[in-house]
């Protein structure tokens, strides 16, 4: 426990504070256990907040516990906020390890500079840890974390950052730089999963907000966004666009952006929102292969279902081995208004069918019981719209009754568990299923992103702020993906790894932070899977101590490997010259004369020079090299 002997404060006059005169005049404070009339304040329940000053017993030398328990009094006395005595360091260290694999911090810093980059990283850490984008809670929730900014800023600071400092043009430059980084890491000429969603936005200052098809079902303006990830789940790029723009049009904008960045796209895997003739026609013109989940029941689906829907059910001839699916494929036109023929694969999932049939029947029976109950009470009654196809109220000799429309119900039951996926290239049903299943990684990222973006609600007032918030969400998804990859290898969930690493703490002792390596095997294994080790924790401690002492640390664990040529060279004062490698340039030959005109001589003893027999101190000069020995005693060489 640190004691500040160079500072004095008045001993607080409040209940729970006592002075132990027999033990170095310790000032004790009870802040947890209630007073016990029989035992009083027990030693184990008291905390030392200071030591009585020998020259003035009204004052005490405070400890770091006083700063923690009485922060307002500390700030009033010394005009500074108390430094945290314990800080959590695990998440900061994980971000450093992520940068070691991806270079994300370097890309951000090259685009926005260090101060803004630090703010973005801190908020991304907050999003991952707290699953929120509400800046109002940032300062409180992150007060005990090691941060890139050094200390948590208020919500007003982040409102300024999002709405005025992170400009759309800079965000666009970051998106290009990150795509280039992905290409360098081998994500090029690959299949991408592209998906979109939307968030409610009630602010009138956001130009992108407009009516559309909100996922929330509410009649509010929305802002739409799209993410592209590799088939293993690594986020590649994102975009934010008008809420009323259909996903298939944004698809074209996304692909054109990636092509502008030099990325080659082998194919795309898309959800139902992109299943229309215009999207398929565009992809075909660009010679980009596609695998798309079929939406509704277009003509191609109806044709295949009519031929095979009943044949493939529970028929092992069409079983896809290793799954619970039955599948068949047929070439044909998916849409009447598009001439191109694709490969339409029909699947039957009997587990999904059973669950959906059970749910449908349960809801129908509940609605039927409600109607019968109302009829028994002789009340006016009508079938809810969603159950009209299956239930009907008739009036007979015995009064009103509810009957089941068996024909419509049979059709609904037969359709459960059936779905279709269209592909532009010939693949077996098993290959189609396996390829589309890779979208699970995309779905996982979307689940994380939506939680990190505040669960479907935009909380900013201006358009620039919307772009900035979504960019921070994208950064958080990049970091979280790398943590997820490591977590999967140690058979842990991402949240479990984040929470477990967040238990690592360093302690401030006498104004300097220190850390004792007490990591368990799982924590070390996570770092190993991220190409890091316990040294990244030592680097975290060093960064925080550098901040305290006023040094400017380099708060990142750089990605290994050679830097780009442009990063190795620095411009000199003369901007027309490039500073290269120090020393004489290749082909350079020194002149025969020095600057003062004397003849240049070869360094070292000149020809004819002979050393004297004595050193400068008058002792006899000995021959260099090992000394010879005689009977175990060293003697000078002859």
Are 545 and 478 in the same domain? Answer: yes
DSSP E strand stretches across 340-425:
342-349, 391-396, 399-404, 418-423
Residues 6+ apart with CB under 8 A from 395: none
pLDDT tens figures, 56-75: 888 888 887 787 778 788 88
For 220, 242, 243, the CA distances from 210, given in Å and listed in that order, are 8, 7, 5
Confidence of residue 209 (pLDDT cuts 50, 70, 90): low
Partners of residue 223 on adjacent β-strands: 199, 242
Alpha helices by DSSP H, listed for 381-513, are 406-415, 429-437, 439-452, 463-489, 494-501
Pairing of strands 86-88, 56-62: unpaired
Extract the runs of DSSP E, i.e. beta strands, from 150-244: 190-200, 222-230, 235-242
Instruction: Evaluate whether residue 627 is within a structural domain.
Output: no
Mean pLDDT for 521-526 is: 90
* 191 and 288 together in one domain: yes
Question: Residue 44 pLDDT > 50, yes or no?
Answer: no
Same domain, 273 and 217: yes
Asked if residues 9 and 67 have their Cβ atoms less than 8 Å apart, the reply is: no
Report angle CA 590, 595, 600 to the nearest 5 degrees: 50
- Give the chain's radius of gyration (CA, Å): 36
* The pair of three-digit structure tokens given for residue 325, joined into one six-digit string: 């699916």
Question: What is the model's pLDDT at position 2?
Answer: 64
Measured CA to CA, the distance from residue 551 to residue 46 in angstroms comes to: 37
Q: Which helix (H) or strand (E) holds 635?
A: strand 633-635
Contacts 24+ apart (CB under 8 A), 149-157: 149/115, 149/118, 149/119, 149/122, 150/544, 150/547, 152/122, 153/119, 153/122, 157/119
User: In this structure, are 288 and 431 located in the same domain?
Assistant: yes
* C-beta pairs of 620-625 under 8 Å, 24+ apart in sequence: none
Q: At what angle do helices 463-489 and 114-130 cross, to 10 degrees?
A: 60
pLDDT at 213 (0 to 100): 57
Question: Does residue 150 belong to any structural domain of this protein?
Answer: yes
| Token pair of 209 as six digits | 């907000």
* pLDDT tens-digit readout, 153-174: 888 888 888 888 888 899 999 9
Q: What is the pLDDT of residue 5?
A: 80
What is the rounded CA–CA span in Å between residue 415 and residue 411?
A: 6
HSE, CB side, 13 Å, CA atoms: give it for residue 576. 0
Select the more confidently predicted residue: 574 or 102: 102
pLDDT greater at residue 450 or residue 607? 607
- Measured in degrees and rounded to the nearest 5, phi and psi for residue 442 equal -65, -45
pLDDT band at 537; cut points 50, 70, 90? very high
pLDDT single digits (tens) 291-335: 999 988 888 899 999 999 999 999 999 999 888 899 999 999 888
What value does the mean pLDDT take over residues 237-255? 74
**What HEC string does 196-215 produce?**
EEEEECCCCCCCCCECCCCC
pLDDT of 45 > 80? The answer is no
Residue 329 lies in a domain: no
Q: Is the pLDDT of residue 441 over 60?
A: no
pLDDT band at 407 (very low <50, low <70, confident <90, very high): very high
Q: Where would I find the beta strands (DSSP E) of 91-221?
A: 190-200
Q: What does the pLDDT look like over 539-555, one tens digit per residue?
A: 998 888 887 766 655 54
CA distances to 13, 290, 528, 579, 635 from 413, rounded to whole Å, are 76, 30, 51, 75, 105
Q: CB count, 10 Å around CB of 299?
A: 13
Q: Could you tell me the pLDDT band of residue 421, with boundaries at 50, 70 and 90?
A: very high
DSSP state of 90: H
d(CA 106, CA 185): 14
Q: Look-up: residue for tokens 């006059």?
A: 13
Give the pLDDT confidence score for residue 330 in this predicted structure.
92
Residues 150 and 64 reside in one and the same domain: no
Please say whether the beta carbons of 219 and 462 come within 8 A.
no
DSSP 81: P
Residue in 595, 527, 569, 577 with CA at minimum distance from that of residue 93: 527
Q: What CATH number does residue 224 fall under?
A: 3.30.420
Contacts of 124 (CB under 8 A, 6+ apart): 95, 472, 475, 476, 479
Provide mean pLDDT across the span 234-249: 73
User: Parallel, antiparallel, or unpaired for β 9-10 and 56-62?
Assistant: antiparallel
CA nearest neighbour of 268 among 277, 476, 282: 282
Pair 198, 130 in one domain: no
Contact criterion met (CB below 8 Å) for 286 and 292: no
Domain shared by 394 and 476, yes or no: no
Residue 445 scores a pLDDT above 80: no
The residues, ordered by sequence, that sit 6+ positions from 191 with a Cβ below 8 Å of its Cβ are: 230, 231, 265, 266, 267, 268, 269, 289, 435, 438
**Tokens read off for 511:** 């104004």
Counting the structural domains of the chain, the total is 4
The first and second tokens of residue 346, run together, are 């029909």
- Which has more pLDDT, 257 or 456? 257
Instruction: Answer yes or no: is 367 within a domain.
Output: yes
What proportion of the chain, given as a percentage, has pLDDT over 90?
26
Looking only at the bridges linking them, the beta strands covering 399-404 and 391-396 are antiparallel
Cβ atoms of 237 and 228 closer than 8 Å: yes
Residues, the chain: 638
The pLDDT of residue 583: 67
Query: Could you read off the pLDDT of 269-294 as tens digits, one per residue?
Result: 888 878 888 888 888 888 999 999 99
Residue 422 lies in a domain: no
The pLDDT of residue 596 is 72
Q: How far apart are CA 483 and CA 487, in angstroms?
A: 6
Q: Mean pLDDT throughout 218-225?
A: 68
Say how far apart CA 353 and CA 313 lie, in whole Å.
10
73 and 91 assigned to the same domain: no
Is 625 contained in some domain? no
For 544-583, how does the pLDDT look when each residue is reduced to its tens digit (9 = 90+)?
A: 888 776 665 554 555 555 544 433 333 344 444 445 566 6
Are residues 468 and 455 part of one domain?
A: no
- Do 203 and 280 belong to one domain? yes
Do 113 and 119 meet the contact criterion of CB atoms below 8 Å apart?
A: no
Look at 391 and 163; give whichever has higher pLDDT. Answer: 391
Q: Are residues 410 and 437 in the same domain?
A: no
Query: Residue 284 falls within a domain, yes or no?
Result: yes
Instruction: Read off the tokens for 121.
Output: 């990283």
* Confidence class for position 82, pLDDT limits 50, 70, 90: low
Kindly state whether residue 448 falls inside one of the protein's structural domains: yes
Domain that holds residue 21: 9-82
> What was the pLDDT predicted at 139?
83
The single residue listed with the structure tokens 């991952």 is: 128
Q: Within this chain, do residues 36 and 112 fall inside the same structural domain, yes or no?
A: no
Confidence at residue 440, expressed as pLDDT on a 0 to 100 scale:
66
């Amino acid at each position: 426990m640190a004691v500040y002997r160079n500072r004095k404060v008045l001993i607080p006059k409040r209940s729970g504070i006592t002075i132990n005169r027999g033990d170095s005049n310790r000032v004790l404070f009870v802040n947890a256990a209630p007073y016990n009339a029989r035992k009083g304040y027990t030693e184990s329940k008291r905390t030392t907040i200071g030591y009585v000053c020998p020259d003035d017993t009204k004052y005490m030398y405070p400890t770091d516990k006083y700063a923690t328990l009485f922060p307002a009094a500390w700030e009033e006395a010394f005009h500074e906020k108390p430094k945290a005595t314990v800080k959590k360091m695990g998440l900061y260290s994980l971000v450093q390890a992520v940068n070691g694999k991806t270079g994300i911090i370097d890309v951000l810093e090259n685009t926005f500079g260090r101060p803004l980059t630090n703010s973005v990283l801190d908020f991304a850490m907050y999003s991952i840890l707290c699953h929120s984008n509400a800046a109002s809670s940032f300062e409180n929730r992150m007060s005990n974390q090691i941060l890139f900014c050094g200390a948590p800023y208020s919500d007003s600071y982040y409102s300024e950052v999002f709405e005025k400092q992170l400009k759309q043009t800079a965000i666009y430059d970051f998106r290009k730089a990150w795509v280039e980084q992905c290409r360098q890491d081998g994500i090029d000429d690959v299949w991408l999963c592209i998906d979109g969603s939307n968030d409610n936005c009630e602010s009138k200052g956001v130009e992108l907000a407009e009516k559309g098809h909100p996922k929330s079902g509410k009649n509010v303006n929305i802002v739409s966004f799209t993410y592209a990830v590799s088939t293993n789940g690594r986020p590649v790029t994102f975009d934010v666009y008008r809420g009323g723009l259909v996903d298939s049009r944004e698809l074209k904008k996304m692909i054109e952006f990636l092509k502008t960045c030099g990325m080659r796209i082998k194919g795309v895997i898309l959800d139902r929102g992109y299943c229309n003739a215009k999207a398929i026609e565009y992809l075909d013109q660009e010679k980009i292969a596609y695998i798309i989940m079929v939406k509704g029941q277009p003509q191609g689906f109806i044709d295949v279902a009519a031929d095979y829907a009943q044949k493939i059910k529970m028929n092992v001839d069409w079983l896809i081995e290793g799954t619970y699916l039955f599948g068949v494929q047929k070439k044909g036109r998916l849409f009447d208004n598009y001439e191109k023929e694709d490969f339409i694969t029909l699947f039957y999932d009997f587990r999904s069918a059973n669950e959906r049939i059970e749910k449908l029947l349960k809801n129908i029976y509940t609605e039927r019981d409600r109607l019968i109950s109302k009829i028994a009470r002789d009340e006016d009654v009508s079938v809810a719209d969603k159950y009209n196809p299956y239930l009907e109220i008739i009036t007979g000799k015995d009064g009103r009754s509810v009957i089941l429309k068996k024909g419509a119900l049979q059709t609904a039951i037969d359709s459960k568990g059936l779905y279709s996926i269209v592909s532009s290239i010939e693949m077996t049903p098993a290959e189609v299923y396996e390829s589309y299943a890779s979208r699970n990684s995309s779905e996982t990222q979307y689940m994380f992103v939506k939680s990190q973006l505040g669960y479907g609600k935009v909380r900013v007032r201006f358009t620039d702020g919307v772009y900035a918030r979504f960019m921070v969400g994208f950064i958080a998804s990049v970091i979280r993906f790398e943590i997820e990859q490591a977590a999967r290898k140690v058979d842990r969930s991402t949240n479990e790894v984040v929470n477990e690493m967040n238990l690592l703490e360093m302690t401030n002792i006498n104004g300097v932070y220190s850390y004792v390596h007490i990591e368990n095997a799982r924590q070390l294994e996570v770092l190993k899977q991220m190409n890091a080790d316990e040294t990244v924790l030592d680097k975290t401690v060093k960064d925080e101590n550098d901040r305290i002492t006023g040094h400017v640390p380099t708060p990142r664990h750089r990605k290994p490997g050679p830097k780009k040529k442009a990063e190795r060279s620095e411009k000199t004062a003369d901007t027309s010259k490039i500073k290269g490698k120090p020393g004489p340039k290749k082909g350079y030959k020194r002149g025969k004369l020095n600057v003062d005109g004397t003849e240049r001589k070869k360094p070292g003893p000149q020809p004819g020079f002979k050393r004297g027999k004595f050193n400068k101190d008058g002792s006899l000069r000995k021959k260099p090299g090992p000394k010879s020995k005689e009977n175990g005693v060293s003697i000078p060489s002859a």
